[in-house]
Amino acid sequence: MKKLLVFDMDGTLIDSDKTIIRCLKQVGSDFGYDVKYVSENIGVKKLEEILAMNSIPEGTINEILEKYRECYLNQFKLDTVPMEGAYKTLKELNRGNVLGILTFKNSFLTRQILNHFFEGITFQFIVGGNDNISSKAEGLKRIISESGIPFSQSYYIGDRSTDMKAAMECGINGIWIKFGLGEKDEFNFPFKYRTAHSFEEIPSLL
C-alpha cells in the first residue's frame, strides 16, 4: 500500500537558517528594528509571530514580510542548501508513495525552493504558513483528508518537537530528523516517533 509522506521544509529538506536569519534581520533593520528570537523559532512559529514577539506593530509586520520574501527569493541560493542525501532519497520515496510538504514557510517561496533543489520530484500536496492554517496539526489534517490515505500509512517527517507533536495530535506516524534544527531536550511529551540519523535512513523507518 502506498504511503503518505509529508515533509517539513526548514531543517528537514533544506538547511536554510542562515538565509532566514540574515534576511529577517536585514529587513527588520531597514525598518529600524533589531529582530530577535529567530533561530530558536525557525519552523516552530510563523514569521509574523516572531516579529510580533519583537513588539513590531501589525501593519509594519506585513511590510517587513513583503520585503523579507523579496530578500529570500533573490538570495536563498547564496546560503540555503538541500540536506545531504535528500534528493536521492526523495527520488526513491517518490516511486509508489504520495509526497507532501507542510511548513510555516510561505508556500510561494516553498515552491520556488522545491523547483530549484528538487526538480523532477512530485509533491502532490503543499501547505504553507500563508494557507490559512493556525497550526501544523491543522495543516496535516487537511493533507491527510485530501489524500484519502489511512492514518496508519501516513507520516510527518520533521526536525522539531512541534512537528512530532503535530503528528501525535493527528494520530499518524512521526519521524524525527535528528540532524536538523531541533534538540532532544525539546521533547517533553509521550510519543513513539522514529528517529532518522541521516536522510538515507528514512526509507528503512517506514
Confidence of residue 23 (pLDDT cuts 50, 70, 90): very high
Please, how many CA atoms are within 13 Å of residue 194, restricted to the half-sphere of its CB?
A: 16
Residue 189: pLDDT above 80?
no
Closest of 157, 43, 50 to residue 104, by C-alpha:
43
Residue 190: pLDDT above 90?
no
Which amino acid belongs to residue 166?
A
Tell me the C-alpha distance between 91 and 73, whole Å.
Answer: 25
Residue 115: pLDDT above 80?
yes
Contact assessment for residue 9 and residue 106, using Cβ atoms and an 8 Å cutoff = no
45-49, 67-71, 73-77, 179-183: segment of lowest average pLDDT: 179-183
Residue 184: pLDDT above 90?
no
Distances in Å between the Cα of 86 and the Cα atoms of 9, 44, 67, 96, 153 are 11, 21, 29, 17, 21
pLDDT of the residue at 82:
97
pLDDT of the residue at 188:
80
- Average of pLDDT values for 175-190? 85
Contact assessment for residue 194 and residue 175, using Cβ atoms and an 8 Å cutoff = yes
Confidence of residue 139 (pLDDT cuts 50, 70, 90): very high
Percent of the chain scoring above 70 in pLDDT: 100
